[in-house]
Amino acid sequence: MPRNVLVVGELNDGAPSATTRELLGAACGIAASGEVGVVLLGAGASAAAPACAGATRAYTSDDAEYDAFRGDQWLRAIVAALDLGDADLVLIAQSTAGRELGPRLAQRRGTAVAMDCTQVVDDGGTWRATRPAYGGNAIATYTFATRPAIATVRPKSFAAVEGDGPATITALPGAGESRTRIVSREPAAAEGLRLEDARVVVSGGRGLGAADGFALLQQLVDTIGRDRAVLGASRAAVDLGWCAQSMQVGLTGRVVAPDLYIAVGISGASQHMSGCSGARTIIAINRDADASIMDFARYGVIGDYKQIVPELIAALRGG
């Protein structure tokens, strides 16, 4: 049965973001012979549309007012795209923008939204969405009785697809007025890989004891290689002011799914595990053998990280 799916895309440096390409991959698997639409907003949106492999139609506006995300402006544009395309399902990334757009769109259309999903399938005409709950200890399943179904999707849950971009591009209206006023913007310093793109993430938590502990973890990242590894942190470490909020892994931070996740001095609270449970392998370094994170780790190293991490660095260097 053909199903029409609408993907709410996001741009990154003038190109569809990695999560947008993943959502398009999910949509292609779900839609069967139905239409896959994508919404792109902001400067360069129309030029970026051909890179949206898997989409059959793009709804775009090149109005630069969309570049600074304001929920009310984006909501109007998405509603306009829905009115034009008649989607059965709307997929949105579980990003800063998606966390706001999903509930607002559901309220506007009088339908339901499932947040932070890792799977969305058409189960015999009924949409079924699943998401990890309680830090990955359980799986919650949702079905929808209203249309369109809306789901925000956790990054790295689906693979991107290759192929042609949309054959048709439909213009959306400009951003218009907003009830939100941006007072100032302060770009975060960014070096090397993003957390979401790293194959290895080394994260520190409250168990480091002080901000200086992150210097040692940075040495481990440098030894692995900055082209593959990046430094992360738990919410506790961020709240203590030991590191920047942009490093936070967890439900209210970044969601990562690396090949290897090394958690140092992290207890394993559900909030944190929701952000890293997709890792292929978790290594926990902790003094507490009974820490919750040991239930999730494939390998657990019990002891003082100040002794263990230098030995690990030496081993990686072949010393």
**Do both 77 and 217 map to the same domain?**
no
The whole-angstrom separation of Cα 10 and Cα 18 is 9
Chain-centroid distance, C-alpha 150: 16
**Do both 114 and 165 map to the same domain?**
yes
The whole-angstrom separation of Cα 114 and Cα 144 is 9
Is 249 part of any domain? yes
**Do both 199 and 280 map to the same domain?**
yes
**Do both 218 and 90 map to the same domain?**
no
Q: What is the pLDDT of residue 32?
A: 77
Counted domains in the chain: 2
Of 155, 171, 187, at which residue does a domain stop? Answer: 171
**Do both 85 and 165 map to the same domain?**
yes
**Do both 202 and 303 map to the same domain?**
yes
pTM for this predicted structure = 0.82
**Do both 217 and 101 map to the same domain?**
no
Question: For 173, which DSSP code?
Answer: P
**Do both 167 and 201 map to the same domain?**
no
**Do both 213 and 263 map to the same domain?**
yes
Neighbours of 306 (CB within 10 A): 12
**Do both 143 and 231 map to the same domain?**
no
Q: What is the span of the domain harbouring residue 88? A: 5-171
C-alpha distances out from residue 54 to 5, 22, 23, Å? 11, 10, 10
Is 40 part of any domain? yes
Q: What is the pLDDT of residue 33?
A: 77
Is 186 part of any domain? no
Is 185 part of any domain? no
pLDDT, block means (10 residues), the chain with 319 residues: 90 93 94 90 96 96 95 97 93 94 97 94 91 79 95 90 90 94 77 86 97 96 95 96 93 88 95 88 96 95 97 89
Q: What is the pLDDT of residue 172?
A: 97
Q: Using CB atoms within 10 A of its CB, is residue 75 exposed (0-12), middle (13-18) or buried (19+)?
A: middle
Domain CATH for 257: 3.40.50.1220
Is 190 part of any domain? no
**Do both 131 and 272 map to the same domain?**
no
Is 178 part of any domain? no
Q: Using CB atoms within 10 A of its CB, is residue 185 exposed (0-12), middle (13-18) or buried (19+)?
A: exposed
Q: What is the pLDDT of residue 1?
A: 65
Domain CATH for 134: 3.40.50.620
Q: What is the pLDDT of residue 4?
A: 93
**Do both 206 and 288 map to the same domain?**
yes
Question: For 189, which DSSP code?
Answer: P
